[in-house]
Copies of this chain bind each other. A is one copy, B any other.
Amino acid sequence: MADKLTPRGEDYSKWYTEIVQRAELADYSPVRGSMVIRPYGYTLWEAVQSGLDRRFKATGHQNAYFPLLIPMSFLQKEKEHVEGFSPELAVVTHAGGELLEEPLVVRPTSETIIGYMYAQWIKSYRDLPVLINCWNNVVRWELRTRLFLRTSEFLWQEGHTAHATAEEAEAETRQMLDVYTDFAVNDAAIPVIPGRKSESEKFAGAVRSYTIEAMMGDKKALQSGTSHFLGQNFAKAFDIKYLSKNNVQEFAWTTSWGLSTRMIGGIIMVHGDDQGLKLPPKLAPIQAVIVPIFKSDAEQSKVMPVVETIRKQLADAVRVKVDDRDDTPGFKFNDWEMRGVPLRIEVGPKDVDKGTVVLARRDVPGREGKSFVPQAGLLEAVQSLLATIQSDMLQRATEFRDANTHEPKSYDEFKSIIEDGFARAWWCGERQCEADIKEETKATTRCIPLDQPGGSGVCVHCGQPATEVAIFGKAY
C-alpha cells in the first residue's frame, strides 16, 4: 500500500472505487456492469446476512428458494411492474441448444413467480399468513454501474408475505422497515431515516413503498432498504385467493421487502475516511488485528509467545487475526487501516516486560485513539472498547447527518441547501411538483419520514398547502 488513496475532498467517486479495490472488497468482472465480490467483501456480506437473517427468523419468517428464470408473460401480468422493469431485463432466448418457445427473464425481483406459487399453495385462511424470505441474486441491466451501488447483478434478500387483511399486510410492511432500521442503526452504525416513498419513487406495482435513507460522506443519499405494501395488485394478477372464515373467496394482501449488497456501499461511504475503510465492529470480518513488533530474532522470540497467548485469550469471543507477515509494522498499520479493522493490538518487547499491550482505535486517529492496557483481563477491555467504537461510530455519523440537514425557509434556500446536504421541508406531495424540483435541482424526495412534526405548512417549491414534511437530497 505505498500509494495513498485519492482524498475524498479531491474526488469522492475515485476515493470510493479505490477503497473497494484496494481493501479487496470487490473487483470489476469481464461482464459489463457485474462485479466479483472478493472474500473480504463477501465476509462482510455474510455478517450483514447473519444480522438480518436472525431478525427475520425472530419475526417468524422462513427462507425458501424460487427459480431464477421467469416466463416473460408473468411479468406482463402486472402492468406497472412490467413497465418499471422491462428496460432492465436480461432475457434467455436459447437453452439446451434450442430456441425457447417463450423467452425467460433472469429475475429482476420475484413478485411474479412467487405470486404464481402462492396461488397454488394458499387455499384457506388457515394457510395465512405466508411469511417467506429468499437470499438470492437478481439481474437488472443498468447502464451506469458502480461497484456495490449499482451493478447488473447483485445479491440481496427479498421477503414476500401474504395476509388475510390489508391491516395485517401493512403492519408486516412496517415491521420489516423497523427490522431494517434496527439493523442499520445497531449493526451497521448507520443512522437511517425511515419513511414513505413518494408516488413517483415507489416500487413498480406497490400501493405504498417505505424506505430507509442514509446520508453518505459526500452528503448524498443512499436508499438502503425498501419495504412495500402491494395491496391486492399481485394477488389479483396471479389469482392468490383464499376461503375466508365466512366461507367467501377473497384476494390475499401481499408485501415485499428487500435489502441488497448496496448496503456495503453505504457502510463504506458513511464511515470511510482518507486512510480507507472503517468498519463497525459488529460487522467487521476482523474485529482486532494483533501486530507483533520486533527488531531482532531475540525480540521476535520474546514477543511471539505472548502474541499467541493473547490471540487465544480473545479468539472465542472476538474475531481476531495475527499479522505475522514478513513486512514492517508501518506497512501493516497502513494496510489494516485501509481494510478498516476497528482495533489494532500492538505487542512489542517493552509491552512483554510490562505485561501490557497497545490498543489503537481505527476510528480515532493518532495518540488520542491509543491506550495501554494490561494483558490480564484483555478480553473484557477489548470487548468494551469494541462496543464504544460501535456507538461512537453511530454517534459521529448521526452528528454528520444532522449537521448537514437543513430546513429551508424558501425555494432559493432549498436550492443552496441541496447542493451540500439534505433539505427537510414541507411538501405538497404532487407528482408534477416533485418532477419540477428534480429538473431544476437534481434533488428528489428521499422519503416522507415517519417522524412528522404534525400541523401543516406550505410546499417549499409550489407554495401549495402541505401536511407533510419530506427529506430531499441528491441520491445515488
State whether the Cβ of A132 lies closer than 8 Å to any Cβ in chain B. Answer: yes
Name the residue of chain B whose CB is nearest to the CB of A43.
B62
Further 18 A-B residue pairs, CB within 8 A, beyond A31-B113, A37-B64, A39-B64: A27-B121, A30-B116, A34-B67, A36-B65, A36-B67, A36-B117, A38-B64, A43-B63, A69-B106, A86-B97, A87-B96, A87-B97, A89-B97, A91-B92, A92-B93, A94-B103, A96-B141, A136-B137
**Total interface residues on A, using CB and 8 Å?**
56
For A151, the closest partner residue in chain B by CB is B67
Chain B: CB-nearest residue to A114: B36
Please, what's the 1-or-0 string for A78-118, where 1 marks a CB less than 8 Å from any CB in chain B? Answer: 00000000111111111111000001101000000100110
With A46-B63, A113-B30, A117-B36 known as contacts, the answer to whether A93 contacts B96 (CB < 8 A) is no
Bound Cα distance A74, B31 (Å): 11
Asked if A90 meets B69 with Cβ closer than 8 Å, knowing A27-B120, A117-B29, the reply is: yes
Question: How many copies of this kind of chain does the complex include?
Answer: 2
> CB-nearest residue of chain B relative to A93?
B93
The distance in angstroms between the C-alpha atoms of A43 and B134, with both chains bound, is: 12
Q: Complex Cα distance A27/B88, Å?
A: 29
Considering only residues 17-69 of chain A, those with a C-beta below 8 Å from chain B are: 27, 29-31, 34-39, 41-43, 45-46, 62-69
A63 to B135, CA, bound (A): 15
- In Å, the complex CA distance between A97 and B90 comes to 8
Report the separation of the CA atoms of residues A181 and B66 in the bound assembly, to the nearest whole angstrom.
29
Q: Are A67 and B104 in contact (CB under 8 A)?
A: no
Decide if B67 touches A31 in the complex (CB within 8 Å). yes
| Chain B residues, CB < 8 A from A5 | none
Whether the Cβ atoms of A92 and B106 lie closer than 8 Å is: yes
Asked if B87 and A91 sit within 8 Å, CB to CB, the answer is no
Residues of B with C-beta under 8 A to A136: 137
In the assembled complex, A239 has its CB within 8 A of some CB on chain B: no
- Complex Cα distance, B141 from A92, in Å, reads 12
For residue A182, CB closer than 8 A to chain B, the reply is no
User: Shortest CB–CB separation between residue A138 and chain B, in angstroms?
Assistant: 9
**A155 CA / B64 CA spacing, docked (Å):** 12
Residues on B with C-beta less than 8 A from A45 are 65
Given A27-B120, A71-B30, A137-B137, also A64-B93 (CB < 8 A): no
The closest CB in chain B to the CB of A37 belongs to B65
